[in-house]
Structures are given as structure tokens and as C-alpha cells.
Amino acid sequence: MTSILGISAFYHDSAAALVVDGRIVAAAQEERFTRKKHDPGFPSHAVDYCLGCGGVKPGQLDYIAFYDKPLLKFDRLLETYLGFAPRGFASFREAMPLWLKGKIHMRRLIRHELPEARQAKLVFTEHHESHAASAFFPSPFESAAILTVDGVGEWSTAAIGVGKGNHLELLQELHFPHSPGLLYSAFTYYCGFKVNSGEYKLMGLAPYGQPRFASLIRDHLMSLREDGSLWLNQDYFNYCQGLTMTNERFHQLFGGPPRRPESPLESRHLDLAASIQLVIEEIVLRMAVEAHRLTGEKKLVLAGGVALNCVANGKLLRAGPFEELWIQPAAGDAGGALGAACFVWHQLLENPRVIHAGDQQQGSLLGPVATPTEIIQCLNDAGVPFEQFSEESVLLAEVARLLAAGKIVGWFQGRMEFGPRALGGRSILGDPRNIGMQSQMNVKIKFRESFRPFAPAVLRERAAEFFELPANAESPYMLLVAPVRKEHRLALKAADEKTMAEDPDLRHRVNVIRSTLPAITHVDFSARVQTVDEARNGRFYRLLKAFEQLTGCPVLVNTSFNVRGEPIVSAPADALRCFLATDMDVLVLENQLVRKEKVAVHSLDRERHLKQFEPD
Ligand SMILES: [Fe+2]
């Protein structure tokens, strides 16, 4: 038996993954255990969980694979510092203490954190090798082109490669400071959102705007070559020398200083979002065309933070040269832990790959599961009354009935998801046909800016009826955006058209009813689709079936089980706390069901819970 522990840490989204004899046994992000969003620390809890799940003692580990090469990264920081000195000292000083404490002495640090794993060989894979491995090895393809795009690893910011059987090779790389991810992050920062987490909001904002700044971006900030390589004009950016992303020249070009976080969004910000989204799509598409030209492959696998841009992915699938896409659900740096472990098993140890019809990712349900004892104890300790269902079908029929009656359900079952999306393991569910559902879920539960619609989870076999997806396409990891089909769109009333065009409050715009599934339809009729199948999703699939049986509708609203700024819930106690702190109506913890009306909620507990999390 060969056990390989993959680790990513010390940047953001630390994670661990365990691969035993080529099988992905477990993977989880540290934030879920520490309840600290994007926790960058050494993933001790995630490691403990993974080893426990596989029944592997630290002393039995054969390899520990770390997702990047610290010395190369140090090299990049140092050279960037020297290149921009003395202006760069601020960013260098910020980065250095962490490096000195952890990164440079990574070998020693890992040995220190896992003292019992003395016998395990330490392997450091390159950052984009880790991303590439996470995209290709678990994919359902025997061979495929590989595209990884992110902010920055050691030096690489994007890579094109090819995978065949149990081997992958990176053919071309783009180097820092020229980075599609950092370009997108610069606009995230400029529009007042948090870098490394607010990119999703910028993407959600784009459909409101006109891409009137796109040519300004193309002409001044960058040069995109025929082969998809990108050059960024450093006269406009500040990430090499300072602690911000953009500089005065950038601000002058786009007509003002960066938006202050949480301040009102102006139409300029909507147009900026639309513009950078268009440009990132052009970059990704051109890189994909080059990957196709270099490899001649028909299929493409993707990873790296930019691969979470599901709007770009959807366009790539519809317009690009590839017949099929597979995107690593933990596309950001957390997935590097999984990639590094898979890389050791296949690439370094030369073990063959077994190709599965779906993929090797197991629905990305690779996290912890709660036992009935744990759940019941948690509810009893909190004095929360609950009903217990021994028959799954009875439970599902009741949950479907509650959903159809407009209730919002916290849904906790099976293993927790690996990656940033909730896929029906730790989700909040609602009825997408309900016209008030979107604002209700936003205001009462997520406590967030509500200009973005929610995502639909749809029975895979009925997805093409509702969304413009190729007949055989699936989107099991909610990583493709597709338009709602014309037959489900509704004509707008004159007053609604005025709202759509002019209302400065985006929440009013997104609340205009424009399809038969208003809670999940964005202002441009797009939807972030999750296709649900029984093999991957089990009980969640059967819940959708029960809802379909009752209502004829095979779609549910699926949003992550958390409040704004909180990591997705992991243990039953996290779920219960979140349930009690919000206006969720029902909580389902495996076979146990809690109705809010039967629970005495203390407003103090509520405040205490919400106060812990800084808005993201
Ligand atoms: Fe990365």
C-alpha cells in the first residue's frame, strides 16, 4: 500500500488530500475546521481528518507532497524586490516574515508539523504542475490538453500542457508579472472587492454593464498575442512594488480612485466588470485555441483560480475548439494539495490511471461525514427538538413538500464538498420558481449584497430542457454558466424594462421576473448550473427527484450552507449554529429534521454567531 499526503499551505486556502494506491480517499480545506475563511496556516486539522478517514497513521505515510516549490517562489519575490527596489520594499517586507517563518524552511516545518511521519519522503511539485495534475489525473479523459491559469505560483501564471495516460507534460508557461489572474484581481480590487475571494462578485456584476472599457484595457494595460501569451504593462499596476493592485495611472485611465468596499456601485463599476470579464474570456479562449493547436487534443482539462470563472468556461465550451471540458472543482490553490498527491502517484511513481466513466473526483464529496450519534448528541446538547426519519423516501417527500411550500432548507448530508462550491452536501435549498425566494435567501440568510442570483441544481437528465447546454454536457461541479432556454424566459413588462435599464439599485433589477425560474436567472438570462446525477450525488439526486415528482420542476436553488464571510459548515454543530443565526425554516441533518418554529432562538446567540465573520 502506498499512501501519499498532499498539502497546500501558506498562501490562501490551505488544504490536505490523501491518495492511497491511486484512489482519492479524502480532501478538505483547513478553513472548514478552523472556521477561518481562506485559512492559510499549516492544515493540521485537514491532515488529521484525511489520515483518519483513510485509517493511515502518520508513520505509515510513504510520501508527503507539497504543492509548490518554496525556493523558486522566494526567488521570484527576491527578484521582484530587487527589480523594483526601493519602492518594492513594502511588499517585500510584508511577504518576508511569512516566508522566513514558514516557507523557506518548509522541509523543516513539515517535519516539525508531522514528526511521526519521519520516514515519508518529501516531494515538492511545481505550482502549475500541481494544478495541471489536479485537472488531468482525476478527469475522465485518457488524453487531453491541459490549461492552468491563476494569479501566480512560483514564476508561472498560466501553463499549457498535455496529459496522456499516466503522464503529463507542460509545454508552455507564462511568467510573472504577466498574469491573467492578477489582471482580473486588479479589477476586483479596483471595483472595491476583496482580492482572492471577490472575483466571483465581479463576475456576477458583469451582466449589468456594457464592456465599454474593453478596448482601453486591451490598448493600454496589455498585449495579447496570437499564441495566447499575455504581456501586462507594469506602468499601471502596483503589485510588484506595493501592497495594492493598481496605481494612480490606472485610476486616471478608468476615471477615478478605487471604489471603497461596501460603498454604492456606480454604473462605471458595472461597465468595468463587464469589460474585464470580456477580456478574460478572450484571453482564456485564445489560450485554449493555442492549447488545441499545440496538442491536437479534442478534450481540455482546466485548473487554477481563473478556471473558477464559470462564465468564461461556459463560453469556452460553446465557442472553443474543444468538444469536452473537465474542470477541477477545487481549481484554486486548495486543489494543489490533491494535484501534488496525484502527481507523485502517477507521474513520479509511474502508476497507471484507471479511467472512470464519470471521473475520479467522486462528486468532490471528499470531506468529513457526520455519524448519527454525533448529530443526535449535537441536537440534544443544544436542547433543539427534532424529528427522526428512518425511511429515506418519507424524509425526502417531507423535505420536497416543505420546499414547495416556500420554506428554506438547510441541507446537510453525506460527505462535505472539496472546493469552494456547495454541491448538495452542505447546501441551503429553496424553490427556484418562487418569486420572493431570491431576495428572501439573500437578505434573511446570506446577509450579503444581493445583485447575484443563486445557482440551480438540476436533474442531469433534464438539464438540457432548461439550459442551453450541449446534449451530452454535464456540469456536476457548478463550473459552467449557461443561458436559460428561450422557452423558459418571460417577456418583460414596460415598467420592468425601465427598472432593468435605469434602477440604480441592482437588487431591484435582479428581482425582475424574467423566467419561470426567477431565483436562479441572472439579468442576462444566464445561470450557474449544477447537473445532479445519482451516481455522484445519491441522496441529493433523490431529493430533486422527490421535488420533481411533487411539482414537475426538476430544479432547486442551491447555495452554500454559511452566512456571508463564514466558511461553509463542516460539522453538525456548525450547521446548527448557522441555522439558528439565520431565518432558515428547516434544518435537515441526515435523517434528523428540525423546524425553526419549534425552536426557541436567542437573539444574543444569533448576534454572537454573525459577529465572528468579517464580510468577504
Ligand atoms: Fe494557483
- How far apart CA 557 and CA 161 sit, in angstroms, is 36
Contact 303, 296 (CB under 8 A): no
Confidence of residue 365 (pLDDT cuts 50, 70, 90): very high
- Residue 392: phi and psi, rounded to 5, are -60, -40
Best CA proximity match to 369, nearest among 28, 15, 13 = 28
Identify residues whose C-beta is under 5 A from ligand 1, the ion: 150, 333
Q: Residue 34's Cα: distance from chain center in Å? A: 18
If you measure from the C-alpha of residue 99 to the centroid of ligand 1, how many angstroms do you get, rounded to a whole number?
17
If you measure from the C-alpha of residue 151 to the centroid of ligand 1, how many angstroms do you get, rounded to a whole number?
6
Average pLDDT over residues 506-535: 92
Contact 164, 379 (CB under 8 A): no
Q: Residue 333's Cα: distance from chain center in Å? A: 10
If you measure from the C-alpha of residue 67 to the centroid of ligand 1, how many angstroms do you get, rounded to a whole number?
9
Best CA proximity match to 348, nearest among 65, 38, 12 = 65
Average the pLDDT over each of 173-177, 302-306, 498-502 and give the range with the smallest value.
Answer: 498-502
Q: In what order do the strands lie in the sheet with 121-124?
A: 23-29, 15-20, 3-8, 63-66, 121-124
- How far apart CA 318 and CA 332 sit, in angstroms, is 23
104, pLDDT greater than 70? no
Confidence of residue 58 (pLDDT cuts 50, 70, 90): very high
Which residues touch 491 (CB under 8 Å, ≥6 apart)?
none
Consecutive H or E run containing 70: helix 70-84
Confidence of residue 71 (pLDDT cuts 50, 70, 90): low
Confidence of residue 17 (pLDDT cuts 50, 70, 90): very high
Q: How much is the mean pLDDT over the chain?
A: 91
**Which tens digits make up the pLDDT trace of 221-251?**
999 999 899 999 999 998 877 678 899 999 9
Long-range CB contacts for residues 395-398, cutoff 8 Å, separation at least 24: 395/588, 395/591, 395/593, 396/539, 396/542, 396/543, 396/545, 396/546, 397/546, 397/550, 398/593
Contact 151, 181 (CB under 8 A): yes
Instruction: Give the max Cα distance, the chain.
Output: 71
If you measure from the C-alpha of residue 545 to the centroid of ligand 1, how many angstroms do you get, rounded to a whole number?
37
Q: Residue 152's Cα: distance from chain center in Å? A: 17
- Dihedral sign for Cα atoms in the order 281, 282, 288, 291: negative
Average pLDDT over residues 313-326: 93
If you measure from the C-alpha of residue 1 to the centroid of ligand 1, how many angstroms do you get, rounded to a whole number?
30
- How far apart CA 515 and CA 486 sit, in angstroms, is 9
Best CA proximity match to 579, nearest among 407, 364, 391 = 407
Q: What is the pTM of this model?
A: 0.94
Q: What does the pLDDT read at residue 83?
A: 65
Q: How far apart are the first and last CA of the chain?
A: 42
Which residues touch 7 (CB under 8 Å, ≥6 apart)?
14, 15, 16, 42, 43, 47, 64, 65, 66, 67, 110, 337, 340
Contact 65, 3 (CB under 8 A): no
If you measure from the C-alpha of residue 335 to the centroid of ligand 1, how many angstroms do you get, rounded to a whole number?
9
If you measure from the C-alpha of residue 156 to the centroid of ligand 1, how many angstroms do you get, rounded to a whole number?
9
Q: What does the pLDDT read at residue 610?
A: 78
If you measure from the C-alpha of residue 153 to the centroid of ligand 1, how many angstroms do you get, rounded to a whole number?
5
If you measure from the C-alpha of residue 325 to the centroid of ligand 1, how many angstroms do you get, rounded to a whole number?
19
If you measure from the C-alpha of residue 233 to the centroid of ligand 1, how many angstroms do you get, rounded to a whole number?
22
**Which tens digits make up the pLDDT trace of 555-594?**
999 999 999 889 999 999 999 999 999 999 999 999 999 9
Which cell goes with 445? 440568510
**Which tens digits make up the pLDDT trace of 243-254?**
788 999 999 999
Q: Can you give the three-state secondary structure of 194-219, one letter per residue?
A: CCCCCHHHHHHHHHHCCCCCHHHHHH
* Alpha-carbon torsion angle 125, 126, 127, 131, nearest 10: -70
Q: What does the pLDDT read at residue 89?
A: 57
User: How many Cβ atoms are within 10 Å of 44's Cβ, its own excluded?
Assistant: 16
If you measure from the C-alpha of residue 147 to the centroid of ligand 1, how many angstroms do you get, rounded to a whole number?
12
DSSP 307: G
86, pLDDT greater than 80? no
The pairing of strands 526-532 and 480-483 is: antiparallel
